[in-house]
Structure 1
Amino acid sequence: MDVITEMSQPVDGLDGKMLVVTADLVGGVSESQDSLEDFGNTPTEELSEPHGVTSEAGLSPQNPTTPDTAKTKLQSTEAGKDGRSLMEKQKWREVPNSQEILNTLRSQYAGLVNHMKDREKLKKPSDVQQFLRVEFGKKTQSFQEIKKLKRLMELSASVCLVIIKGEATGTGFLLFDKFILTNAHVVQKIYEQITNKLQQSVTVTFDFEDLDERTQNIPVKSEVVAYEKDDSGYIDFALLELSADPDITLPSGLLDTFSFPSPEGGICIIGHPECGVKKKDPCFIIPYGDRERAVEKHVKENEEFLHVITNRYLVENGDIKTRLPTDTERITYDTCFFHGASGSPVFNVYCQLIAMHTAGYSYEGKSKKTQSIIEYAIPLSRTLQRIIIQAVRRKRVDVLQGFLNQGSWQLDVVLERVKTESVNDSLFTAFQEKLQFNSNTSATDQGEQRTFYQFLFDRVEATGVEATGVEATGVEATGVEAMEVEDNE
């Protein structure tokens, strides 16, 4: 049987969009005919067969027979002499005991479509059809290729569960060498700022993927490499060091996959939501301009909790609907990763590490289950800048060398941004001494490292400005940020 597929609308440029091409099996729907003509009428029993398909001839009575379709009908009939035709093989089969559910869905059909038209400001039935096609295209675009799935599986090996005194508390990932990056609020309760040490034992496991399998717990050193958490919610990280046995093979670090986030597009979060087995959640970045609408949509769909949402996020702590659209420092999205997922790596559609999942505007929903209006991640570039500055201050040559070993244009951009940070020029002298007496560092390496450190202070030496602001902070989060962290650590 010959099948002719015609495009009703030529496309010269896709602008990065994913389009889904549809075609009727036989005949077709004319360009002027709407498949969603009247949303006021609910589907009828005629939907027991696919549109345009009958069990006998494969032709719908809605499609009049023409010489071409008559020829197709004859070919289909002849093909059926030796066996069932293609159309007959694709008949619908009724699901047993489904009539009640079917009637319920039909009764809700018109209301749901009207709700969609109001929410998305759609006027014509064809607008609804196009919206559904575009949305479907988005859903099928990201992380469906086998190549990407395999790559995500490789990257997931570097994601770990953070365990404090035998109790799982959050997620982390291997940044490079033996250094684990997670959110500061994951270990905040046991971090002592004066000593810069963890007050309780911490371990991580990279292989908690099955409840029935044993895991290997790797201890973390009590001394914290870098830690910072401010009251703006834009800085929230802790860099920990593994005291791993030399015989233990660690996964690859994720720093070499680092890149900068886009304002929109698909992402994938890998972590331990609810402190359970390792999972992934593909979702989409909510662009700045769409955040207010996303909040309104969630509030409307959860009206039974309107008083909780209103008191917590629309009144007491400032209207997040107006604050979020102007917040360019965080990446927002809608995910199912809540408690236990803080510290999870966030990857873009190219499987590049762009951010660290941090928190969300959460509240208690049905059956006391955690729900969230919107979630966010902190771009990794900001975190890396602060880690480098703290590593300089704390004379952690091993950490700085780890950055030097990961040469990429993305890291070069981060280093350029570090140049603009205010740095105390007395640190340069301290590092010269550190390198001079570091017996494990070759002369060549010392020269490379001096070049690396030197750029941190070029600006200070040129201006003669004594700068501050390098100290690691342990500031408690306040206001809405404190509640976000508490609910989502």
Structure 2
Amino acid sequence: MVENEENAPPSKLQPAAQEKKMHRVHSFQWRWSNQGFITVTCDKDGTVERSLNTSVQFKKLAKKFKDKELVIIREGKAISSHFPCVLLKNKERLTVKFVKAVGNPKKPSRAPERGCRTKTSCELVTFHVLAKGGKNIVKIMENPALKDKHEITVFAYKGEKVKQALRKDGRFQKAIFKKNCALFHRSTEVKTELSSLVDDLDGETYQIILLDKSNPPDSQPGSLDDAYVVANETESQSESGNGSVQKNEPDLNGNVEPEKTLQEMPCSKKTQDLLSSQFTHCVKNLKTQARRLSRIQNLLRVEFGQNDQMCREVKTMKKLMDLSSSVCQVRVNGRPVGSGFLLFFRYVLTNFHVINDIYKKGRFVGKVSVHFSYESIEQTGGGFDVEDVVGFEYCLDVSGHDWALLRLSADETLPAGLLKHFGFLPQRGGICIIGHPEGGVKKIDPCLIVPLPNRNMVVERHYGKNQTHVQWITSAFFEGVKRSVEQNTLTYESCFYFGSSGSPVFDVDCNAVAMHTGGYVYPGKNGENRSVIEFGQSLSDIMELLIIQLVEKEKLDVLKEYLACSYTQHQTIMEGVKKLVESRNLSAFKKDASSLEDMDESLKLFFNFISLKEEPVPMEIE
């Protein structure tokens, strides 16, 4: 009697069947060129290409471009055709392209099926690699067409080595495996050797760099077996040489010899532990010998990478040079104390802490002057006296505000104000600071914004580099910096320290977006000033607070001069002021009709705009 399939005893294939049932049913969408998206549903383990082949439209495209190489774009990054579909989020969108193939298109090396099917999505990691390598190893992609993709995504199994993951990906040139290369994290400046495990790389972005010209080091113990990589390379050579894969031929009785599989050697654990201990000791000695050389190489490599991102076009630098005429040095009794810049008409913006020691009870107790033309040590004179302080705020503990608007007593011609070049804070990218660091001549410093997620990494990097030689700077200092930088609106790494407070900060479009305010300074190894991270205040926040102060202190003459300045973002600033007035319910802005009669037309429009109430729109109810 033949048993039916439901009553059959468990077979050797049952675990695989159970794993197949455990695979979640999900769908993703794909498109080619600018055509509409097509939905594909996946109900079993496999690759993205296998799932795409269930689509009739994709099969037509693949047949049409059979001599080209398939490129799959996911979130702006290129993934491999054998990328596991289980890593795709439900309803995720992909774009497929076909590019010119290099040589004979061949499938990338992969782990044996028995190694892949036993892995679940939680045991997979993905990391991203820039399509261009570092110095002396820029060309890393096998297909030059992939260099146009800024990043590519690589998947790996936990326990694999970086080298295995890159080899298995199949898109990298073999040269990177024959040289001593590493993955370089550009934010943390940490290097990961190709012999390291991939377990901690999930979600991070790296650049492949060349450490030196020596042979690559051996692998770390405890990683997945390398045998399947060697086997696939041998298979690949066989394919390229003969054009087909040799398979076991049946004997005279029609039986096929089963394929040989690799098995663990008996009693190999003790040998493995011994080799692991000897290898760790050997690597430690090698690192000690090459430490001095590698530090110099790292320094040069990091500096080059940063400068590459901070390059400016000539026309941008010319414009910044023109705008630098509005930047000045602030002096107290002839001694330089900070920087500043002309905001509008005869009003200079700087930090209040620059004049804090000389401004007592609403007046100066010494002479304060600003100098716009101090660009070489031979230049003397040419300064303008400061008449008074129009408005200021100095609340470091609460809001972090630190600004002051100075009125000049100058009657002669002044540079153009930077208010016409006002802009809002960028989230990332390059910036330029122009000021007088260390009380010297006017300088410019191109640097990079440190985004909010990377601020703590910068602090930890400084602590890791300096904790050995600065014994009295404890970890509590750096922990305090971590908490403090979270409230600052703009952070960056600059070489502008003392004397540069009050300098304007420009974005890539030469818009004045912030005012350089300070940093977290500590002494370096040789006694020089070092700073963990620097910060600036948003110019838009300062403008809104300044306007409110001008009204509250009844300095309407200054407000009138401000309103006479026309700039692109004026209306946006006015809307921000209005929201602050309404949230604080400020009575100084409530003007009756009689008080408005004698005012200038621009002031009337200003107060009418602030006092205008927006009526709520009633909901339509059926």
Q: Give the secondary-structure state (helix, strand or coil) at the position aligned to 1:171.
A: strand
1:310 and 2:478 are equivalent in the alignment: no
Partners of 1:144 and 1:209 lie apart in 2 by: 21
User: When the two structures are superposed, what TM-score results if normalisation uses the length of structure 2?
Assistant: 0.51
Counterparts in 2 of 1:45-84, with a 5 A limit?
A: none
CA contact (8 A) 2:368 2:386 kept: yes
- Report which stretch shifted further, 448-457 or 269-278: 448-457
What residue is the counterpart of 1:292 in the other structure?
456
1:149 and 2:338 are equivalent in the alignment: no
What residue is the counterpart of 2:233 in the other structure?
none
Instruction: Note the C-alpha offset of 1:333.
Output: 0.8
CA contact (8 A) 2:591 2:607 kept: no
1:319 and 2:461 are equivalent in the alignment: no
> Residue by residue, what CA displacement relative to the aligned partner does 1:249-300 show, whole Å, maximum 9, x if unpaired?
2111001111111121100000000011000111001000001100011111
Partners of 1:233 and 1:167 lie apart in 2 by: 30
Q: Give the secondary-structure state (helix, strand or coil) at the position aligned to 1:251.
A: coil
1:450 and 2:614 are equivalent in the alignment: no
Instruction: Note the C-alpha offset of 1:209.
Output: 0.7
Q: Which amino acid aligns with 2:373?
A: D
What residue is the counterpart of 2:424 in the other structure?
260
Counterparts in 2 of 1:184-195, with a 5 A limit?
A: 184-193=352-361
CA contact (8 A) 2:352 2:393 kept: yes
> How many pairs are equivalent?
361
CA contact (8 A) 1:168 1:275 kept: yes
Counterparts in 2 of 1:52-451, with a 5 A limit?
A: 107-108=290-291, 111-112=294-295, 139-193=307-361, 196-221=362-387, 223-230=388-395, 231-232=397-398, 234-245=400-411, 248-310=412-474, 313-314=477-478, 319-324=480-485, 326-327=486-487, 329-421=488-580, 422-429=584-591, 433=595, 436-437=597-598, 446-451=600-605
Q: Which amino acid aligns with 2:374?
A: F
Structure 1 residues not aligned, in runs of 5+: 1-8, 45-105, 117-131, 439-445, 463-489
> Residue by residue, what CA displacement relative to the aligned partner does 1:27-55 show, whole Å, maximum 9, x if unpaired?
999622218722598547xxxxxxxxxxx
Q: Give the secondary-structure state (helix, strand or coil) at the position aligned to 1:378.
A: strand
Instruction: Note the C-alpha offset of 1:144.
Output: 2.1
- Report which stretch shifted further, 394-403 or 148-157: 394-403
Partners of 1:203 and 1:111 lie apart in 2 by: 49
CA contact (8 A) 2:132 2:140 kept: no
Partners of 2:577 and 2:336 lie apart in 1 by: 34
Counterparts in 2 of 1:22-37, with a 5 A limit?
A: 31-34=173-176, 37=179
Partners of 1:160 and 1:10 lie apart in 2 by: 53
Which structure: greater helix fraction?
Answer: 1
> Residue by residue, what CA displacement relative to the aligned partner does 1:208-263 show, whole Å, maximum 9, x if unpaired?
11011223011110x31001111235211000011003xx2211100111111112
Partners of 1:254 and 1:218 lie apart in 2 by: 18
- Assess, with a 3 A threshold, how the Cα gap between structure 1 residues 300 and 23 changes in structure 2: closer, same or farther: closer
Q: Give the secondary-structure state (helix, strand or coil) at the position aligned to 1:140.
A: helix
CA contact (8 A) 2:513 2:538 kept: yes
CA contact (8 A) 1:419 1:459 kept: no
- Assess, with a 3 A threshold, how the Cα gap between structure 1 residues 322 and 394 changes in structure 2: closer, same or farther: closer
What residue is the counterpart of 1:120 in the other structure?
none
> Residue by residue, what CA displacement relative to the aligned partner does 1:392-429 show, whole Å, maximum 9, x if unpaired?
11222332233323344523222111112225324544
Partners of 1:312 and 1:276 lie apart in 2 by: 33
Partners of 2:615 and 2:553 lie apart in 1 by: 20
Structure 2 residues not aligned, in runs of 5+: 1-70, 79-129, 143-172, 182-192, 194-210, 215-288, 617-622
CA contact (8 A) 1:364 1:370 kept: yes
Q: Give the secondary-structure state (helix, strand or coil) at the position aligned to 2:375.
A: coil
Q: Give the secondary-structure state (helix, strand or coil) at the position aligned to 2:561.
A: helix
- Report which stretch shifted further, 29-38 or 169-178: 29-38
- Assess, with a 3 A threshold, how the Cα gap between structure 1 residues 34 and 228 changes in structure 2: closer, same or farther: same
Partners of 1:192 and 1:159 lie apart in 2 by: 26
Q: Which amino acid aligns with 2:517?
A: T
Of the two, which has the highest radius of gyration?
2
Partners of 2:380 and 2:306 lie apart in 1 by: 38
1:38 and 2:180 are equivalent in the alignment: yes
Instruction: Note the C-alpha offset of 1:109.
Output: 7.6
- Assess, with a 3 A threshold, how the Cα gap between structure 1 residues 358 and 32 changes in structure 2: closer, same or farther: same
- Assess, with a 3 A threshold, how the Cα gap between structure 1 residues 35 and 384 changes in structure 2: closer, same or farther: farther
User: When the two structures are superposed, what TM-score results if normalisation uses the length of structure 1?
Assistant: 0.64
Which structure: greater strand fraction?
Answer: 2
Aligned CA RMSD, in angstroms, stands at: 4.0
Partners of 1:207 and 1:390 lie apart in 2 by: 30
Partners of 2:578 and 2:342 lie apart in 1 by: 26
> Residue by residue, what CA displacement relative to the aligned partner does 1:179-199 show, whole Å, maximum 9, x if unpaired?
000001101112224xx2222
Partners of 1:283 and 1:233 lie apart in 2 by: 25
- Assess, with a 3 A threshold, how the Cα gap between structure 1 residues 192 and 423 changes in structure 2: closer, same or farther: farther
- Report which stretch shifted further, 261-270 or 296-305: 296-305
CA contact (8 A) 1:299 1:306 kept: no
CA contact (8 A) 1:425 1:457 kept: no
- Assess, with a 3 A threshold, how the Cα gap between structure 1 residues 21 and 199 changes in structure 2: closer, same or farther: same
Partners of 1:181 and 1:14 lie apart in 2 by: 44
- Assess, with a 3 A threshold, how the Cα gap between structure 1 residues 367 and 191 changes in structure 2: closer, same or farther: same
What residue is the counterpart of 1:66 in the other structure?
none
Structure with the greater relative contact order (CA < 8 A, sep ≥ 6): 1 or 2?
Answer: 1
- Assess, with a 3 A threshold, how the Cα gap between structure 1 residues 276 and 11 changes in structure 2: closer, same or farther: farther
Q: Give the secondary-structure state (helix, strand or coil) at the position aligned to 2:357.
A: helix
Give the share of equivalent positions with the same residue, in percent: 35
